[in-house]
A = this chain, B = another copy of it.
Amino acid sequence: MLSNELTKGTLQTIILKLLAEEQKMYGYEITQHVKSISEGKMILTEGALYPTLHKLEKNGLVRTQQVMIGKRMRKYYSLTAKGKKANVNKLAEFQEFINAMHLILKPKTTTS
């Protein structure tokens, strides 16, 4: 499991990308989805996830829709237009980050 400090700062990027692809998701679903597709290597803790979702909503990147499933609430999140733009930006930024890190971390003596 990847419970190290490297995942810091990636949470918004992940959420926006998943919402862009799945149209709408609820919090718990996001945690399970990430766990599943990362093959258990990345675990989103709820203590980090929910405050981040609330922040994204407050900033107008996502909107919510509450649905009752039996007696239990589900709060679906979906991207706003602003959120869709933010997703594109975040993905590009992440790619830049990876490129920069590659330059820094690649072995100096590349004989290959």
Residues of chain A having any CB pair with chain B under 8 Å: 2, 4-10, 13-14, 17-18, 21, 34, 37-39, 41-42, 91, 93-94, 96-101, 103-105, 107-108
In the complex, the 5 A-B pairs of residues with the closest C-beta atoms, listed nearest first: A5-B9, A8-B8, A6-B97, A41-B100, A38-B100
Return chain B residues, CB-CB under 8 Å to A99. 41
Q: Inside 8 A of A97's CB, which chain B residues have their CB?
A: 2, 4, 6-7
A64 to B9, CA, bound (A): 31
Chosen A-B contacts, 8 in total, with CB atoms closer than 8 Å, are A6-B13, A6-B94, A6-B97, A7-B97, A17-B105, A41-B100, A91-B105, A94-B105
